[in-house]
Amino acid sequence: MAGTQGNPEMFSTRSDLKEDVRECVIGLLNLHLADTFDLYSQTKQAHWNVKGSQFYQLHLLYDELAETLLKFVDLIAERATALGGVATGTVRMSSSHSRLPEFPAGGVMDIQSVEELAQRYAALAASSRKAIEECLNAGDQASADLFIDFTRELDKSLWFLEAHVQQAGRAEMRKAA
């Protein structure tokens, strides 16, 4: 592998970002790659195994959500390699580095599956918001922009999920917040 002086896992690049910045951001990107690929597979697990009266609507929704995640799996991995790093994105690599809890095995009832996924989407959105700040503090606006787009999509997906379980009126929702 044609590594740079400091890190044999990095490739030379003409990027004007300093090597220590690239190393830091590549690590951050690979953490999110693991989480995102894991969430993709958990969303597909829910898609395949959801049960209950909302089966069809959720089956379709989960497939759409998974497709969006898969797009970001590719973008995150490509950003890591564009910075001179190696994307660590196999299923095994992702499962060993994901910070998300495991999705329940077997068939899952419709509302439980929504709650389980909403928890994971919210957690990934929160860590992605932190990643935006970390990238900006490191001086990598392009990676921050990727995380901004990703967080926007995660928030939208979370909205779609939560709409299935929200029953309170606007006044009750304000009280809960």
pLDDT at position 64 is 98
Give the Cα separation of 35 and 73 in Å (integer): 9
| Domain assignment of residue 3, yes or no | no
- Count of the separate structural domains present in the chain: 1
Q: What is the residue type of 107?
A: G
Quote the domain boundaries for residue 134. 19-99+106-165
Residue 6 pLDDT more than 50? Answer: no
- We report the CATH number of the domain holding residue 68 as 1.20.1260.10
| Domain assignment of residue 172, yes or no | no
Q: Which DSSP letter does residue 24 get? A: H
| Domain assignment of residue 24, yes or no | yes
pLDDT confidence tier of residue 3, bands split at 50, 70 and 90? very low
| DSSP, residue by residue, 111-149 | HHHHHHHHHHHHHHHHHHHHHHHHHHHHT-HHHHHHHHH
pLDDT at position 168 is 58
Residue 82 pLDDT more than 60? Answer: yes
| Domain assignment of residue 171, yes or no | no
Residue 169 pLDDT more than 70? Answer: no
pLDDT digit string (tens) for 33-64?
Answer: 999 999 999 999 999 999 999 999 999 999 99
Residue 177 pLDDT more than 60? Answer: no
| Domain assignment of residue 9, yes or no | no
| Domain assignment of residue 130, yes or no | yes
| Domain assignment of residue 175, yes or no | no
pLDDT at position 174 is 59
| Domain assignment of residue 85, yes or no | yes
